[in-house]
Amino acid sequence: VSKTWANPEAAAATAGPRSWVSYGIDLHLDLAGSRVRAGLEAALRDAVRTGRLAPGRRLPSSRDLATDLSIARNTVADAYGQLVAEGWLEARTGAGTWVADRPAHVAHLPRRPAARPVKQRYDLRAGVPAGSAFPRRAWLAAARAALNSADDSVLGYPDPRGLRQLRRALAEYLGRARGVVAGPDNVVICAGFAHGLALVCQVLGARGGTTLGIEAYGHLLHRRITAANGMRPVAVPVDERGAAPTGLDVPGDLATASGLVLTPAHQFPLGMTLAPPRRTAFVRWATRTGGVIIEDDYDGEYRFDRQPVGAMQALAPGYFIYAGTASKNLAPALRLGWLVVPDAMIDEMLAIKESSGCINGALDQLTLARFIESGGYDRQIRQSRLMYRRRRDRLIAALHRQAPAVRLAGIAAGLHALAELPDTESESDAIARAARHGVAVDGLAAYTAPGHERGPALVVGYGRPADHAFTTAVGRLCAALADSDQP
């Protein structure tokens, strides 16, 4: 039986379902069979959660509502009792039942900007590697081998710092491939860079820090994570040679920063490598002030025309938190990242991580450890590097041919490039034209801190499309950019 607790007009108009007429709201109840009470609870909970029943509103007495819905009074009383226990309703003895006030911190949580549904057929937004390149078979083989040989104890609560097997494998890999100075005890496994950044902010905040420098171009999400974890994000300027250390020595917001987040190997999203004298200048700042440099090495392995630039961390490991992620080399879905934390900070980091209640699952950690140890990770990176290099070359050639007024920058490395549009062009027009050609792409403005706007540009990710769709995706983007005289 489906019943509607409706406003009087609706009830009169439909004359079908029973209705309770003292409220001006609709309450749809599925009162079938033995689930009458559960249905009533769910409908009331939903009405309170969505605001259709506002805080402070009085509910009908259990007797009235039971009569209205032709159900037992106890059923209503039990449902009210349950919702009082859960905090949705409040009961005042002898006075009735009200919708409870929601705690302010729940009601006023900042809303996440609505995720834009991507309707376009071809997705050239940055940040995600090719799903089609995920090594499904090798990953499954590593998972099977790892689980088969794992001790039962692996199925208990995992070590908060991460499984030792994985920390050992990563310390070896990072030393060999990225020049990072790390022992297994410096490695902390986290749920991607996003989680690592949150942990770093909490550690710096617990040490009395208030501000964190973040490159003026980057993911706005990282700024939000910083603020949500108690630190004020302050923009570090970036020019053609990468992040600029200029603001660090003059009085101002940056001078008091307790840490700086940098992308030295491949600035995201502008794409340059941090100039060597600047590396030295940032290290000098850290050693002089005791500030910490968070090295976000999100795609350091992908350098196409010469050897990857090694991690900066080795210059002064005691002043760096090196951060890596499986999001580019494997898949963001794994939510696996790692921090290399100096000895002097590791205990604070672990205490904060443990009390955050967020610990990575053991099975994916075991699998990744096995995947690294067996050489699968290196192989995956070598193959992906070749694939992305080919994709990058196709993008360069197609743009050169079809839209020569567009200048590509940041092409030496990574999974994305910056397509700088002529100054007379509007970024949003270019995005709209691309959409009309079936291509989703982001503009640089979406990655820019306020006050640091540059000329119009698109951030073109060449990771996402499957191989068979890549040429068409790029062809359509080029056609859209060549079409610049159309509104």
Binds ligand PLP (CB under 6 A): choice among 53, 235, 274, 296 = 296
How far apart CA 357 and CA 84 sit, in angstroms, is 27
- For the bound state, the minimum distance from the C-beta of residue 356 to ligand PLP, rounded and expressed in Å, comes to 15
- 13 or 221: whose CB is closer to ligand PLP? 221
- 60 or 465: whose CB is closer to ligand PLP? 465
First vs last Cα of the chain: how many Å apart? 55
- For the bound state, the minimum distance from the C-beta of residue 364 to ligand PLP, rounded and expressed in Å, comes to 14
To 5 degrees, how large is the angle CA 30–CA 35–CA 40? 55
Which residues from 136-195 bind ligand PLP, rule CB under 6 A?
192-194
- 3 or 328: whose CB is closer to ligand PLP? 328
- For the bound state, the minimum distance from the C-beta of residue 13 to ligand PLP, rounded and expressed in Å, comes to 52
Rule CB under 6 A: say whether 302 interacts with ligand PLP. no
- 186 or 263: whose CB is closer to ligand PLP? 263
Rule CB under 6 A: say whether 267 interacts with ligand PLP. no
Rule CB under 6 A: say whether 448 interacts with ligand PLP. no
Rule CB under 6 A: say whether 470 interacts with ligand PLP. no
Rule CB under 6 A: say whether 384 interacts with ligand PLP. no
Rule CB under 6 A: say whether 388 interacts with ligand PLP. no
Q: What is the dihedral of CA 231, 233, 238, 243, to 10 degrees?
A: 0
- 41 or 299: whose CB is closer to ligand PLP? 299
- For the bound state, the minimum distance from the C-beta of residue 172 to ligand PLP, rounded and expressed in Å, comes to 21
- 80 or 338: whose CB is closer to ligand PLP? 338
- For the bound state, the minimum distance from the C-beta of residue 297 to ligand PLP, rounded and expressed in Å, comes to 9
Which residues from 118-137 bind ligand PLP, rule CB under 6 A?
127
- For the bound state, the minimum distance from the C-beta of residue 306 to ligand PLP, rounded and expressed in Å, comes to 22
Which residues from 188-247 bind ligand PLP, rule CB under 6 A?
192-194, 218-219
Q: Which residue is nearest to ligand PLP (CB)?
A: 192
How far apart CA 417 and CA 481 sit, in angstroms, is 15
- For the bound state, the minimum distance from the C-beta of residue 326 to ligand PLP, rounded and expressed in Å, comes to 7
| Count of positions on this chain that bind ligand PLP (CB under 6 A) | 14
Rule CB under 6 A: say whether 447 interacts with ligand PLP. no
Which residues from 62-101 bind ligand PLP, rule CB under 6 A?
none
Task: Answer whether 438's CB lies under 8 Å from 121's CB.
Answer: yes
- For the bound state, the minimum distance from the C-beta of residue 377 to ligand PLP, rounded and expressed in Å, comes to 16
- For the bound state, the minimum distance from the C-beta of residue 191 to ligand PLP, rounded and expressed in Å, comes to 8
Binding mask 310-339 for ligand PLP (x = CB under 6 A): ---------------x-x----x----x--
Q: What is the CA radius of gyration of the chain?
A: 28
Rule CB under 6 A: say whether 442 interacts with ligand PLP. no
- For the bound state, the minimum distance from the C-beta of residue 128 to ligand PLP, rounded and expressed in Å, comes to 7
Three-state secondary structure readout of the chain: CEEEECCHHHHHHHCCCCCCCCCCCCEEEECCHHHHHHHHHHHHHHHHHCCCCCCCCECCCHHHHHHHHCCCHHHHHHHHHHHHHHCCEEEECCCEEEECCCCHHHHCCCCCCCCCCCCCCEECCCCCCCHHHCCHHHHHHHHHHHHHHCCHHHHCCCCCCCCHHHHHHHHHHHHHHHCCCCCHHHEEEECHHHHHHHHHHHHHHHCCCCEEEEECECCHHHHHHHHHCCCEEEEECEECCEECCHHHCCCCCHHHCCEEEECCCCCCCCCCCCCHHHHHHHHHHHHHHCCEEEEECCCCCCECCCCCCCCHHHHCHHHEEEEEECCCCCCHHHCCEEEECCHHHHHHHHHHHHHHCCCCCHHHHHHHHHHHHCCHHHHHHHHHHHHHHHHHHHHHHHHHHHCCCCEEECCCECCEEEEECCCCCCHHHHHHHHHHCCEECEEHHHHECCCCCCCCEEEEECCCCCHHHHHHHHHHHHHHHHCCCCC
- 194 or 434: whose CB is closer to ligand PLP? 194
Rule CB under 6 A: say whether 462 interacts with ligand PLP. no
- For the bound state, the minimum distance from the C-beta of residue 213 to ligand PLP, rounded and expressed in Å, comes to 15
- 60 or 259: whose CB is closer to ligand PLP? 259
- For the bound state, the minimum distance from the C-beta of residue 427 to ligand PLP, rounded and expressed in Å, comes to 19
- 297 or 373: whose CB is closer to ligand PLP? 297
Rule CB under 6 A: say whether 425 interacts with ligand PLP. no
Binds ligand PLP (CB under 6 A): choice among 19, 97, 186, 263 = 263
Tokens for 34, please give them.
């033995």
Question: Which residue is associated with the tokens 């009405």?
Answer: 47
How far apart CA 49 and CA 39 sit, in angstroms, is 15
Tokens for 305, please give them.
């025309």
Which chain residues interact with ligand PLP by CB under 6 A?
A: 127, 192-194, 218-219, 263, 268, 296, 298, 325, 327, 332, 337
